[in-house]
Amino acid sequence: MALIRSMRPEQWLKNGFVLAPIVFSGMAGDPEAWGRSLLAVAAFCAASSATYLVNDVIDREADRAHPHKRERPIAAGEVSVASALATAAALVSIAIAIALTLGGWFPLVLLAYVVLVLLYSAILKRAVFLDVLVVALGFVLRVAGGAVAIDVPFSRWILLVAYLLALYLALGKRRTELVVLGEDAGSHRVVLGHYTLPMVDGAISVVLGATVIAYALYTVAPDTVANVGSEGLLATVPIVLYGLFRYLYLLHRHELGGSPTRALLTDRPLLICVVVWLAVAATVIYASR
Q: At residue 169, does pLDDT exceed 80?
A: yes
* pLDDT, mean of residues 174-180: 84
Of 68, 188, 212, 191, give the one whose Cα is nearest residue 132.
191
**Topology given in CATH for the domain delimited by 1-154:** Tetracycline Repressor; domain 2 (1.10.357)
Is the distance from CB of 123 to CB of 138 less than 8 angstroms? no
pLDDT digits (tens, 9 = 90+) for 2-54: 888 888 888 888 899 999 889 887 777 789 999 999 999 999 999 999 999 98
For residue 140, name the pLDDT band (cuts at 50, 70, 90).
very high
For residue 97, name the pLDDT band (cuts at 50, 70, 90).
very high
Residue 216: C-alpha distances to residues 19, 127, 128, 136, 286 (Å)? 20, 31, 29, 20, 19
pLDDT, residue 96, reads: 95
The domain locations on the chain are 1-154, 155-289
pLDDT digits (tens, 9 = 90+) for 232-242: 899 999 999 99
pLDDT digits (tens, 9 = 90+) for 228-276: 888 889 999 999 999 999 999 988 876 665 577 777 778 899 999 999 9
pLDDT, residue 187, reads: 60
Task: Quote the mean pLDDT of the chain.
Answer: 88
Q: At residue 188, does pLDDT exceed 70?
A: no
DSSP-assigned letter for residue 194: G
